Structure 1
Amino acid sequence: MYKYKIKEFMDQLPVIEYRKLNTQLHRVIGVSRNTLINYSLIKITSKKDIPYSTIRKLEIIFGVKYGDLTNQNITCDHYKKIIDRIPERPTRRLQRKKRVKRMEQPD
């Protein structure tokens, strides 16, 4: 399976439109024809990726919503959940106060 649906969207076009777009698409997005072909053949498990601006151009050209060109769901926790998972650490100010209190306590 491929990371992006470029080939799928191209294959859905009528033959005449496919041929015309196939000759011009790489120029419109500002890459070589070989690069465009390589973009469409990136495997879903690959670490390679397409620059964000190029993906946005392709999404606009194909008339799809943001994120519809990808074959993978990217999920992540909200930053508040990430922060909640981090254990509390005392601040330097609090550590200093504890040291001062220890020194002030009589033995």
Structure 2
Amino acid sequence: MTAGYISILLLWTTFLRSRSFRASMTTGLPCLSKNSSRLEIKNGKIYLVRLPDGAISVKRVVLLKENQRLLCQSDNPIYEPFEFNIDPAKGIKWYILGRIRWVGREID
């Protein structure tokens, strides 16, 4: 996925450019994420994530080890899950930009 996104009234709009969610979402579709959804992270849900290198990606996430690590997963099994430490100075809100709520259809 590329880092092309627009912030409009607490929503992020982005386009899926990777095959990491090919099993559940179609590449090229626009998706909306809700900024306020990052206040309470729900394990196993799909979020717009800022990675430690600054790249923006769509990933299914799980908070690990007392909220000090973030596990990122794709729905496409060819992509390996990975995890990284959450910098306490930045906090989880720096990494989680919003929960994906719509991508051509509503997502629970």
TM-score by length of 2: 0.23
Which structure is larger by alpha-carbon Rg, 1 or 2? 1
Q: Which has the higher helix share?
A: 1
